[in-house]
Amino acid sequence: MNAQEAIDAWTEFQRRISVGAYEERSFEHHETGTWPADGVEESVANLETWAAKQGLEFCWSWDTHTWSLEPIEATLVDCPYCHGAHYTGQVCPLMPRILEDETPEDWMIRTPKAL
Ligand SMILES: [Zn+2]
């Protein structure tokens, strides 16, 4: 997949989402780690992951009404674990670790968002 193909796919999925022509991921889907059968939200998540691996994110331009891929800006985010701030993508050294037999979903339920 090249950048233009990714943008084209992203644009179409965002169009479907904006008009509600997709199946929303339910609580049960989150619980079981599955996705709705139409695959819209799963594809969006996959595209986000694909872009992030290259240090990019999808950005909407109000001027041209188009999506583009832009470098992820280094933004400082407040940290609930050390009450400091980190750049996006950085992992706080105080963040509780995921146990060996734990899924990320279980970890998120167990881990308090703010200490
Ligand atoms: Zn921190």
- The answer on 78 and 41 residing in a single domain is no
Question: Can you give the residue range of the structural domain that contains 33?
Answer: 1-71
> How close is the Cα of 59 to the center of ligand 1, in Å?
27
- Whether residues 9 and 49 share a domain: the answer is yes
Using the mean position of ligand 1's atoms as its centre, give its distance from the Cα of residue 91 in Å: 7
Burial 49-82 (b: 16+ CB within 10 A, else e): ebbeeeebebeeeeeeeebebeebeeeeeebebe
Average pLDDT over residues 19-40: 94
pLDDT higher than threshold 60 for residue 115: no
For residues 13 and 54, state if they share a domain. yes
Distance 106 CA to ligand 1 centre (A): 20
Q: What is the pLDDT of residue 93?
A: 83
Domain count, the chain: 2
Going from the Cα of 37 to the center of ligand 1, the distance in angstroms, rounded, reads: 37
Other C-beta atoms within 10 Å of 27: how many?
7
Give me the phi and psi of 68, to 5 degrees please: -140, 170
- Residue 78 three-state SS: strand
The answer to whether residues 12 and 57 belong to one domain is yes
Ligand 1 centre and the CA of 78: distance in Å? 8
Query: What letter does residue 22 receive in the DSSP assignment?
Result: S
Please indicate, yes or no, whether the overall pTM of this predicted structure exceeds 0.85. Answer: no
What pLDDT does 113 receive? Answer: 61
